[in-house]
Amino acid sequence: MKYSKQFLVEAYTTMTTIRQFEERMIKEFMAGNIPGFVHTYDGQEAVGVGVCMHLSDDDIIGSTHRGHGHCIAKGCDIELMILEIMGKSGGLCKGKGGSMHIADIDKGMLGANAIVGGGPPLCNGAALSIKTLGKPDVAVSFSGDGSSNQGTVMEALNLAGVLDLPHFFVFENNHLAEGTGDSYAVSGEIAERVRAFNIPCDTVDGTDFFAVYEASKKAIKHCRSGKGPYGIEADVIRYDGHFIGDPQAYRGEGEIAYLREHKDCLKIFRKRVIDEGWMKAAELDQLDEKAADAIEKGVQRGMAAPRPSLEELYSDVYCTY
Amino acid sequence: MSDSGVSATHHNHPIKTIREAINEALHQEMERDATVIILGEEVAGGAGCQGSDEAYGGVFGLTKGLGPRFGRGRVIDTPITESAIIGAAAGAANTGLRPVAELMFVDFIGVCFDQIFNQAAKFRYMFGGKARTPMVIRATAGAGMRAAAQHSSMLHPVLTHIPGLKVVMPSNAYDAKGLMIQAIRDDDPVCFIEHKLLYETSCPVPDESYTIPFGEAAFPREGSDMTLVAMGAMVPRAIAVADKLAAEGIYCDVIDPRTTSPLDGEAILESVEVSGRLVCVDEANPRCSVAADIAALVAEHAFSALRAPIKCVTAPHTPVPFAPNLEDAYIPSEERIEQAVRDVLGGR
């Protein structure tokens, strides 16, 4: 398989942006510049980007509490995201949603979702709109190993199968639901659960961008062609705690260091494109710097921005009331 | 009263039941707007079965005829899967459709409450005003059919409590049609509570389409001796009591809020300013109920007008019982309403 330079640049730029964005959010959170609960996506970039590279603004995604990466991959403005995460005026959701509720309907980003398993039923609805209105689009839900245990997700799989909805179910198995391992909490295999609903489901190495990209290509083609839902279970890793500040007492000694050395999707991407002779290390480094500059600019803007005006407390509850 | 100038008091209109009025509203809105869809369990009925292609038309027949008329692409039978039904409706509402989801019995919000209150109700606010969720959740409610605890609740207080939801509870066929059309056209999520004992009650209902705005109470009886607020199936009972007392020269201002969210608090306060007395009738359980909410509203804003303590007539704080004598005792009766009115009139 050969990929265009432009494609590789876009993929790596998005992945490194997500990585550095999350690392910066951790720093800002620890410095007290971000209120509330923040769940970071670093380590899983290959999945969000590998899937969303196939999507346009007309396609819909539903995300999770660990949603920053999906937002960036779907094209949300990172400065407006930072404003939102900092709870500032002008944020993507006017500072009223925060990290766990970032949405950008215009970009087809139906929302992060702080309820584990909350998203897939909603993405069925987006897929139902697509089908009913005769559009060529696809709805994509992101779920984790944690949400694969929620009844809502099982219900969503069943209804998607019953109604042949153009819904691509992406399960990112990072093997940790908060602080509980999937070997304990998931009875059986996630992909087998999906297949049990007569929905095809592939397993993929979620640390390999190219593997995710190709698996998603097949799945999304299936959904767009009216053949109904499709699933993938991506095997990924989680670097950070469930939330920023989680001491991760449940991790093994040297576990995270091992993952950073051997399972880092950015390192794996870099090695592949350099080994293949598609890109040079210096080019990739340059993209890292460019991303860092954009994030720095966003953080500066976020720090300088005011809090939402008090009137915002009362607005946007209803369209009319 | 309505934006098309159609009046409930125009008796030339044909007599229709609430069931027929709601069914007509659904037909007219689906005809008018191709983005309106219906989904739920057996809204057509018979999917995957060998018998009739439209076996049900909704378990109470409210969606009868819609399946054959608009096809299964727009009248969508779902499995018994309430979270997926409400979730699909909410997600579809965010992306261009106007779904009317049937929850069958309101008691079933227990298995899909997250999709109602954490998802649909909160989207607009938590996404900074960018999301629009024009969906209707239809659910039948109320006691009186010997259906016992898990098929007889009145849960409008629970739904009314939630910002982002609108809650509609028609008491007659005329209101049911206009409120349903308004609910479908409304851009916010609307819970449309249908009392199962009222489905066969009837009154003149215009054939043409009309809307009734939310948050505007109706005054089925007017009077200055007593403000008698009643909702849903309690409205006909309140009217019967008012008519009985009128024969004795006691005139009640019967107020049917029609929607508990938004609530026409102004109408209630204005009435109490004149009558100085309030009896509030609600079939729901008493704690944190709409009756208690209205009593608090009046106590807070019209205290000086009150000439006697407020009385609420509600169900007891129990689940709905099965045995017929117990269920009959559970539901506020005309006798209890009348006694409450007389007690409040006998106050200072």
CA dist B200 and B214 (Å) reads: 24
| Closest CB from B86, B119, B128 relative to A94 | B128
Domains of chain B: 15-204 (3.40.50.970), 218-345 (3.40.50.920)
Q: For residue A93, what is the nearest residue in chain B, using CA coordinates?
A: B128
Condensed to tens digits (0 to 9), the pLDDT of residues B131-173 reads 999 999 999 999 999 999 999 999 999 999 999 999 999 999 9
Residue B5 has pLDDT above 50, yes or no: no
Confidence at residue B1, expressed as pLDDT on a 0 to 100 scale: 39
State the catalytic residue, choosing from B11, B27, B151, B301: B151
pLDDT tens, residue by residue, A226-281: 999 999 999 999 999 999 999 999 999 999 999 999 999 999 999 999 999 999 99
- CA neighbor of A267 nearest in space, from A66, A53, A73, A12: A12
Question: Which of B35, B83, B96 is the closest to A151 by Cβ?
Answer: B83
Using pLDDT thresholds of 50, 70 and 90, give the confidence band for residue B339.
very high
Interface of B with A in 155-184 (CB under 8 A): 163-164, 166
Helix or strand run (H / E) with residue A168: strand A167-173
| Spatial contact of A159 and A137, defined as CB atoms under 8 Å apart | no
pLDDT at B348: 55
What's the rounded mean pLDDT across residues B307-334? 97
Q: What is the pLDDT of residue B46?
A: 87
Degrees, nearest 5: CA angle B80-B180-B128 = 80
Q: Is B202 helix (H, G, I), strand (E, B) or coil?
A: strand
- List, as ranges, residues 19-58 from B with C-beta within 8 Å of A: 35, 37, 39
Interface contact A97-B127, CB threshold 8 A:
yes
B125 in reach of chain A (CB within 8 A): yes
Q: What is the mean pLDDT of residues B102-115?
A: 96
Question: In chain A, what percentage of residues exceed pLDDT 90?
Answer: 99
Whether A275 contacts chain B with CB within 8 A: no
Q: Whole-angstrom Cα distance, residue A108 to residue A52?
A: 11
Cross-chain residue pair B92–A129, CB shorter than 8 Å: yes
Chain B nearest-CA distance from A213, in A, is 26
Q: Quick check: B303 and B116 in contact, CB under 8 A?
A: no
The domain A5-313 belongs to what CATH superfamily?
Thiamin diphosphate (ThDP)-binding fold, Pyr/PP domains (3.40.50.970)
Tokens standing for residue A302? 């976020």
Q: Which residues pair with A170 in a beta bridge?
A: A142, A232
Q: Is B301 exposed, middle or buried (0-12, 13-18, 19+ CB in 10 A)?
A: middle
Touching B: A residues 49-108, CB under 8 Å: 60, 62, 91-97, 101, 103-106
Q: What is the domain partition of chain A in residue ranges?
A: 5-313
- On chain A, the residues whose CB falls within 8 A of the CB of B79 are 158-159, 162
**DSSP states of A43-61 as a string?**
T-HHHHHHHHTT--TTSEE
Residue B4's pLDDT is 42
CA separation for the pair A152, A15 (Å, rounded)? 30
Contact B154, B284 (CB under 8 A): yes
Tell me which of B30, B86, B126, B261 to substitute to probe the interface with A (most A C-beta atoms closer than 10 Å): B126
Closest CB from B35, B73, B126 relative to A97: B126
Name which of B323, B314, B270 is nearest B289 in CA terms.
B314
Q: B54 falls in which pLDDT band (50, 70, 90)? A: confident
For residue A154, give both structure tokens. 């099982």
**Burial letters A233-243, b for 16+ CB under 10 A, else e:** bbbbbbbbbbb
| Residues of chain A predicted below pLDDT 70 | 1
DSSP, collapsed to helix, strand or coil, labels residue B54 as: coil
β-bridge partners, B76 = B39
Res B291 pLDDT > 60: yes
Binary contact (A132, B87; C-beta < 8 A): no
Say if B94 is an interface residue toward chain A (CB within 8 Å).
Answer: yes
Interchain CB contacts (distance < 8 Å): A and B = 160
> How many CB atoms are closer than 10 A to CB B208?
10
Residue B151 bears catalytic tag: yes
Looking at residue B2, its pLDDT comes to: 42
- pLDDT, tens digit, for every residue of B81-106? 999 999 999 999 999 999 999 999 99
Best residue of B42, B74, B83, B263 to probe chain A, by most A CBs closer than 10 Å: B83
Contact at CB, B131 and A122, closer than 8 angstroms: no
Beta partners for residue B57, in sequence order: none
Instruction: Quote the tokens at residue B251.
Output: 């005139």
Residues B111 and B83: beta-carbon distance below 8 Å: yes
Q: Touching check for B81 and chain A: CB below 8 Å?
A: yes
